[in-house]
Amino acid sequence: MASPRTITVVALSVALGLFFVFMGTIKLTPRLSKDAYNEMKRAYKSYVRALPLLKKMGINSILLRKSIGALEVACGIVMTLVPGRPKDVANFLLLLLVLAVLFFHQLVGDPLKRYAHALVFGILLTCRLLIARKPEDRSEKKALPESAEEQPSLYEKAPQSKVKVS
Summarised one tens digit per residue, pLDDT across range 102-149 is 999 998 998 999 899 999 999 999 999 999 888 766 555 555 555 555
Question: Is 24 inside a domain boundary?
Answer: yes
Question: Is 33 inside a domain boundary?
Answer: yes
Q: What is this structure's pTM?
A: 0.77
pLDDT 10s digits, 43-91: 999 999 888 888 889 889 899 999 999 999 999 999 999 988 999 999 9
Query: Which of 59, 60, 73 is closest to 29 using CA atoms?
Result: 73
For 100-129, letters b (16+ CB in 10 Å) and e give ebeebbeeeebeeeebeebeebbebbeebb
CA atoms within 13 A on the CB side of 99: 8
Domain count for the chain, please give it.
1
pLDDT 10s digits, 114-126: 899 999 999 999 9
Question: Is 115 inside a domain boundary?
Answer: yes
Crossing angle (nearest 10°) for helices 61-81 and 85-108: 150
The residue range of the domain holding 105 is 4-132
The confidence score (pLDDT) of residue 70 equals 96
Question: Is 146 inside a domain boundary?
Answer: no
Question: Is 156 inside a domain boundary?
Answer: no
Q: What's the rounded Cα separation, in Å, for the pair 139 and 147?
A: 18
Question: Is 13 inside a domain boundary?
Answer: yes
Question: Is 160 inside a domain boundary?
Answer: no
Please check the confidence at residue 41 and state whether its pLDDT lies above 80.
yes
The confidence score (pLDDT) of residue 66 equals 95
Question: Is 142 inside a domain boundary?
Answer: no
